[in-house]
């Protein structure tokens, strides 16, 4: 019972932060780099260090969300 509560709490936290990180990503233009100073921080070759780190954190949170979803589905059935 306690494990289920911990998994549900972790799942809710991961999903909330994942939503925030996805909303911070750049759409068709701008995104996080425009929030902190416009196009001056962005390079023509690719994304900034902040955006690459945001990508990495988003992938880690997506994996955590996936694992908690699978574990909850196995435990609650």
For residue 52, the enclosing domain spans: 48-77
Please report whether residue 59 resides in a domain: yes
- Residues 65, 22 contacting (CB under 8 angstroms): no
Cα angle for residues 31, 37, 39 (degrees, 5° grid): 65
Please report whether residue 56 resides in a domain: yes
In angstroms, the first-to-last Cα distance of the chain is 13
pLDDT digits (tens, 9 = 90+) for 30-74: 556 566 655 554 555 556 888 889 999 999 999 999 999 999 999
Please report whether residue 14 resides in a domain: no
Q: State pTM to two decimals.
A: 0.73
CA–CA distances in Å: residue 69 to residues 1, 5, 44, 46, 74 = 16, 13, 38, 33, 9
- Residues 7, 65 contacting (CB under 8 angstroms): no
């Amino acid at each position: 019972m306690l494990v289920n509560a911990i998994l549900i709490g972790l799942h809710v936290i991961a999903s909330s932060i994942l939503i925030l990180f996805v909303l911070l990503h750049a759409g068709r233009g701008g995104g996080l780099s425009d929030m902190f100073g416009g196009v001056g921080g962005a390079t023509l070759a690719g994304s900034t260090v902040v955006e690459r780190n945001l990508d990495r954190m988003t992938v880690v949170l997506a994996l955590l969300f996936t694992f908690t979803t699978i574990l909850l589905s196995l435990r609650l059935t």
